Each structure stands twice: as C-alpha cells, then as structure tokens.
Amino acid sequence: MVEDAELARRCAKRDESAWAMLVERYQRRIWHVAYQFTGRAGEAEELTQEIFLHLLAALESFDSSGSLPAWIQRVARNYAIDHYRRRRRERSLVADGEEFENAVRFTEDRGASSDPHRALEQKDLSGWLRDTIDRLPVELAQAVILRDLQEMSYEDMARALNVPLGTVKSRLNRGRVELARRLKRRRAEWSDRFRENPSGGDR
Amino acid sequence: MNCRRAEELFSDEREGALAPPIERELSAHLDTCDECQSLYETFQEVADALGAMSVPAVPDALAEKVIDKSRHARGSITTTGREGTPFAVASTSSSPRLVASASWLAVAAVLAMVVLFRPPELASELSRKTSRAARHVYSFAIRTYDQTERWIEDLNVLRMTVNVAFEDRIDQLNEQLRDLENAGRRSTEDADEQSRRHLETENESETESGAKSGSGPMATRPVATMNDLGFLTEHSSRSLL
C-alpha cells in the first residue's frame, strides 16, 4: 500500500495511477462533507467532483510532514464552506408559505397519515430539517452543519469560519433554537390544518 | 432569568457545560415558563434528529467520474493514450517544464533568424515580426509560470536577454542605414559638383571661341555641346582648307 506522503507527492506530479488511488481512498470522506453541506445526492456528487479537482490543484502546497487525511478534510471543508455561501447567494429560496405546501405534498406523496402527531416521523423530520437548515441565515446554517452534521470541534469551527469561539457557540445555539422554533410553528400549522379538514388532504 | 437568557443557555445545558448555579436557575425558569419549556423540548428533539441524520452510500462510479473530470480539467491529469494503460504515467503535454523548454527553443530560433537575415531592408521588418513573436512566446510562458518564482526569475532574465539582443540588432541596422544614407548623399553631391564644373568649363570655351552660346537644350547637355562644337570647328577648318 502506498503511503499517504508518497501518494501526495506522485499526485502533485500528475501521476494518474496515484490520483486514482487517492480518489478511491478518500471519496467516502469527501462525499460525506459534500452531502452534509448540500443535502441532495445530485448536488453532492457535483460538489464532490469540484472538491477533488480543488484538491488536485492544491496538492503541491501539501506539507508531506503533516497528515494527509487531516489536510484533505480541512481543504475539503473550507471549499465546502465557501461553496455553501456562494450557493446560498445564488439560490432563490421558496417562501415560507410554499415551504408549508411542499411539506404537505412531501408527506402525502409518501402515503403518510394526515394525523399531525404522526406526520413528522423521524424520516420526514430529517428531510424537513435538512431543507430548513438551508433557510436559516447562512452563518447559523454553517454552524449547525459543521457541528451537528460533521461533528467538528468548536476550535476547528472557529478556525474554519475565522470567528471567535464564543461567536461559534452563539451561532450554533441560535441556529438550533431557530430550527426548534420553526418546527413548533410547523406543527401548530399542521394541527390547525387537521382541525379544519379532519379527512386529511385538500384534494 | 428571562426567556431570552434561558434560550441562550440551551446548547450549553445540553452539553453539560453550565455551572451548577446557572443550571439550577435555568431549570427553575423552565418549571415556571410553559413557552420556554415547550421550546426546550423541541430543541432537544431537533438536536437529537440532527445528530441522527445519515448520509447515503457513495454513489456508484463516483471515483470514475472524478478521475474522468480530472482529465478534462485544465492542467490536470491526462493519460498517455496508450492502450491497456489507462492509468499510466501522466503525459507531459501540459507540463510547465516542457513548455519552458519549448519557449526557450522558440526564442532561440527567433534570435537565430535575426542574426541570419542580415540585409537591412529585410531585417527591419523581420525585427518587428520577431519582436511580436517573442512577445507572444513570452506572454504564453508567463501564464504558465505564474506560481513559481524561480521560473519567473528565469523569464525576467530571458526578457532582458531578448530585449538587449533586439536593441543591439536594431542599433546595428540603424548604423548601417545611416552609413548608406551618408554614402548616397556623398555620391549625389559628387555628381552635382562634377556637373557644375563641366558647365563652367563649357561657358569658358564658348567665350574664348566667340561662338554664339547654345540655347536651353545645349546648356543641359554640356558634353555633347562641346563635342558638337569641336566637330564643327574641325569640319569648318577642312572646308576652308
């Protein structure tokens, strides 16, 4: 098995066999970063490819005395953070009202019960949370993704986001509280809807 | 403790990072505030759900797609194109070192052309063309080396070398042109001087012989006039004899 330092050195010299090995070895790690930042398989696949190309270009700057996995993780996360910010700027998010309608269809399409108490089962809650994270202010969303999805340390988050430790903790808490507040509001809307139309659905 | 302060402590409480007195204060607030208690419970549910969110398996053929995209990216890995060796050592078609060698060769060829084509009338035009070619080569090379200080230094040396070489050539050509111009000017002046002297000699001859001076055409052809006069003089003398 080729050592990481040797692998990095050969990749920096554009050795394709070494590059194929590196991609194979680290694709799962990069895929996780990409998926946790995008929440969608198609976008995650594109972002994975972008991150690998970025790594290939950056490999010349890798210090072989350091840890390649740690370096790859750091470069990939930094790229994903910048990408997330760019994507959020570009994307026109749907309004909250549309979000509610989409949530209704989301559940009905899966044949879920119209019972509000069963409507947000774990699988649906995960999907709703993923969509709602992208509707938070971008700084709060980044903090939630890095800490709760990627389990990053506060110190690493502070370095990656270039903000003080206290700011990182504050953003994370505000992000979580905001998600909780929106989930409460959504459940209240579901309850109102159920009371108005107990048969379930509006079709 | 108010509601806003209570919310700020949710994450620290979940991670067990609160000092006991503050934790007791928060607990007391939640016991008395239904809104905060409800939000706190939902907060815990959200935090649990976030921690349990899973990532799907790596899609099939993702690595192949990455490698394929790497081949098409600028300055990235490419294959040698040999059958059966899809992952052989990368070709150096975009290698900066090869480009550097090619650039040096191109500049050397340009300089050789300047030296070989010596005729001044060609050299002037050639110098302009070769200057343009050298500039293209230089700008192409500079784009390739922008990340390497050593190569940039080499190019600066190269640029100075090219500039000095062209300046020397142009100076030499200018000197040659100046010499030719001076030579041409001197030749013209000599011819004018000769003509003036012939005219003076003709006028003196006409005065001495008492013959009528010639009209315009005669004046413009001094040598013929003299011959004509000589022929007539000789002819007249024979007739008289």
**Span B26-84, pLDDT tens digits:** 999 999 999 999 999 999 999 999 999 989 999 988 999 999 888 877 555 555 433 32
Interface contact B52-A122, CB threshold 8 A:
yes
pLDDT single digits (tens) B80-130: 433 323 333 333 344 445 555 555 666 666 566 555 555 555 556 666 666
Q: Measure CB to CB from residue B55 to each of A32, A60, A125 and give the nearest one.
A: A32
Q: What is the pLDDT of residue A198?
A: 66
Q: Are residues B110 and B163 in the same domain?
A: yes
Q: What is the 3-state secondary structure (H, E, C) of B114-150?
A: HHHCCCHHHHHHHHHHHHHHHHHHHHHHHHHCCCCHH
**CB of B50 less than 8 A from some CB of A:** yes
Average pLDDT over residues B227-239: 38
- 10 Å CB burial of residue A152 (0-12, 13-18, 19+) is buried
Helix then strand then coil, in percent of chain B rounded to 5, is 75, 0, 25
Q: Are residues B117 and B155 in the same domain?
A: yes
Read off the pTM: 0.57
**Which amino acid is residue B128, in one-letter code?**
R
Asked if residue A144 lies in contact with residue B49, where contact means CB atoms within 8 angstroms, the answer is: no
Please list every residue in chain A whose beta carbon sits closer than 8 Å to the beta carbon of residue B147. 60
Is there a domain that residue B187 lies in? yes
Helix A165-196 to helix B34-52 angle, to the nearest 10 degrees? Answer: 100
Bigger pLDDT: A5 or B145? A5
Parse chain A into domains and list their residue ranges: 4-90, 96-196
**How many structural domains is chain B composed of?**
3
Is there a domain that residue B69 lies in? no
Bigger pLDDT: B76 or B214? B76
Is there a domain that residue B189 lies in? yes
Is there a domain that residue B113 lies in? yes
As its CATH architecture, domain A4-90 has: Orthogonal Bundle (1.10)
Is there a domain that residue B63 lies in? no
Q: What is the pLDDT of residue A195?
A: 73
Is there a domain that residue B163 lies in? yes
Closest CA to A115 of A180, A186, A201, A184: A201
Asked if residue B95 lies in contact with residue B106, where contact means CB atoms within 8 angstroms, the answer is: no
CATH code for residues A96-196: 1.10.10.10
Residues of A with CB under 8 A from a CB of B: 13-17, 19-20, 23-24, 27-28, 31-32, 35-36, 41, 45, 48-49, 52-53, 56-57, 60, 122, 125-126, 129-130, 144, 148-149, 169-170, 172-173, 176-177, 179-181, 183-184
Is there a domain that residue B208 lies in? no
**B197 HSE (CA, 13 A, CB side):** 6
Q: Are residues B194 and B228 in the same domain?
A: no
Please give, rounded to a whole number of angstroms, the shortest distance from the CA of A132 to a CA of chain B.
11
Is there a domain that residue B101 lies in? yes
| Residue whose structure tokens are 């100076």 | B171
Q: How far is CA B15 from the centre of its chain?
A: 61
Angle A48-A50-A55 from CA coordinates, rounded to 5°: 95
Give the domain extent around B20: 3-48
Closest CA to A75 of A64, A99, A59: A59
Residues 6+ apart with CB under 8 A from A104: A193, A201, A202
Does the interface ipTM go beyond 0.85?
no
Q: Are residues B133 and B189 in the same domain?
A: yes
Please list every residue in chain A whose beta carbon sits closer than 8 Å to the beta carbon of residue B86. 16
Q: Is the pLDDT of residue A194 over 50?
A: yes
Q: What is the pLDDT of residue A52?
A: 94
**CB of B55 less than 8 A from some CB of A:** yes
Dist. CA B190–CA B198, nearest whole Å:
12
Dist. CA A145–CA A47, nearest whole Å:
16
| pLDDT class of A14 with cuts at 50, 70, 90 | confident
Q: Are residues B218 and B196 in the same domain?
A: no
